[in-house]
Each structure stands twice: as C-alpha cells, then as structure tokens.
Amino acid sequence: MNFRPLHDRVLVKRVESEAKTAGGIIIPDTAKEKPQEGEVISVGSGARGEDGKLIPLEVKAGDRVLFGKWSGTEVKVNGEDLLIMKESDIMGILQG
C-alpha cells in the first residue's frame, strides 16, 4: 500500500537517536525521549492560496527535517510507525 498525504501535509519517519551518551552511558528505552528529527517519506501537492493558486511545498521526499516535540499525528502504515504533519509544523531542513 502506498500513501500520499493531501494538501500541505507531510509523511515523516522518525530517525532514532543514539542509545549511548558521549560518555558511554547506555540510555534505556524507558528514559529516551522521542526524536524530533526525521526523514520525509512523501509530501502532498501543496496548499491553496487565497487566490486559489497551488503553493508547492518546500520540503521533498528524502529531506531530513526537525520538528516540534508534539508535532504531527502518529500513524501506522505498512506496519511502520510514521508521523503525518503539516509543513508548518516542520522547523527546518537539515543540510549536509
């Protein structure tokens, strides 16, 4: 099953953070916070402006992005935990 978000929504897969600190301490799953970094899986066609014209999204599939801690709605697609959020919930694109 393929999934394509509608309008200005974006499908994001969380990128798992390190299980160890810089000092070598292993962090148990119960103490980990959910990562606020992810990879864009797919994007909608864009939002409509007041004049009715389509405004394309700035993010594209494959971009690594940062988003807010409480952003998006968690969904399960093909057995994989993903997030659906509006492009405005994304704070920025990681480069390099």
Contact indicator for 41, 14 with CB cutoff of 8 Å = no
Q: Return the half-sphere exposure (C-beta side, CA atoms, 13 A cut-off) of residue 23.
A: 2
Q: What pLDDT, on the 0 to 100 scale, is given for residue 60?
A: 93
Retrieve residue 92's tokens.
């920025």
**Measured distance CA(58)–CA(51) in Å, rounded:** 19
Superfamily per CATH, domain 9-17+28-93: GroES chaperonin (2.30.33.40)
pLDDT lower than 70: segments of the chain: 1, 17-22, 24, 27-35
pTM, entire model: 0.77
